[in-house]
Amino acid sequence: MSNPVVAQPPAQAPYPGAADAAIAAWWQGVPLKRPSWGVPDFFIAVGAWLVFSIVSGVPILLTQEGTAVYAWALLVGVILPWLGMGGWPWLVSRLRGNGIRLDFGLRVSRVDIGWGLLWGVAALVAASIIAAGLSAVFGEFDSSAGELATSLNDFPVARFLFALAVAFGAPIVEELCYRGLLMTSLLKRGMSKWLAVVVSAALFAAMHLEPIRFALLFAIGLILGAARIHRNNTSTAIVAHMTNNLPGAIGILFLVG
């Protein structure tokens, strides 16, 4: 007698690491391809961010501190590198994937916004506790964003735009790169979910180039990665990141002086 054929359960996703938007589209019959972008593209994005940072730093060095030109050069120096960190994930998802919305799970739903707010509050609490411990060891310290905001104190328009960048721009760009491009690439290669969270959090913290704040940034990265895993999309992590950054942005607007 021949052995009975055992039916295999249907696949639950079009490819490992697929975000919720891609899975939903696949179940609806939308033809998807397995994205050919991966971990090397993350390092390309970070490399492009570094190149743009160097290029945008030249005008800052050539202008006099405390002038309006210097303030606007600082603002450009913050935003221009985003062309690499956020632009490259967008580009490779269009050229070698299914687009940024499906590849990284970018969507806006009340449930994801609600969970993003909760994860963001968790990140704020964790950061506050760790910051208190770091202050006890190293004394008072500030973030690079806080130090930059001081240079914009006499230029309210530039300071306002910088606060918007901190509250909304940085979370979108950084989450596209770390919890979008990097984490999805690691999951697509078969890495376990929680190891991918740890790896992305470590690189997220390291790339801020703030050694004293590494533990604080690492904890935030772990929580943002958990948000990405929990809802299987980058949108929840973006909302969480915005929630975490909002008090700092408010401080830039009203408390710098």
Q: What pLDDT was estimated at residue 171?
A: 97
Cβ contacts of residue 2 below 8 Å, gap of 6+? none
Tokens of 1: 């007698």
Cβ pair 113, 220 in contact under 8 A: no
Average pLDDT over the chain, rounded to whole?
92
Q: Which range has the worst mean pLDDT, 68-77, 147-156, 201-210?
A: 147-156
Q: In angstroms, how far is CA 157 from the centroid of its own chain?
A: 25
| CA–CA separation, 220 and 204 (whole Å) | 9
Q: What is the mean pLDDT of residues 19-24?
A: 95
CA dihedral 232, 234, 239, 244 (to 10 degrees): 100
User: pTM surpassing 0.75?
Assistant: yes
Q: What pLDDT was estimated at residue 141?
A: 83
| CA–CA separation, 111 and 134 (whole Å) | 34
Cβ pair 76, 59 in contact under 8 A: yes
Q: What is the mean pLDDT of residues 156-161?
A: 93
Give the SS3 label for residue 161. Answer: helix
Q: Is the pLDDT confidence value at 122 over 70?
A: yes
Q: Is the pLDDT confidence value at 7 over 60?
A: no
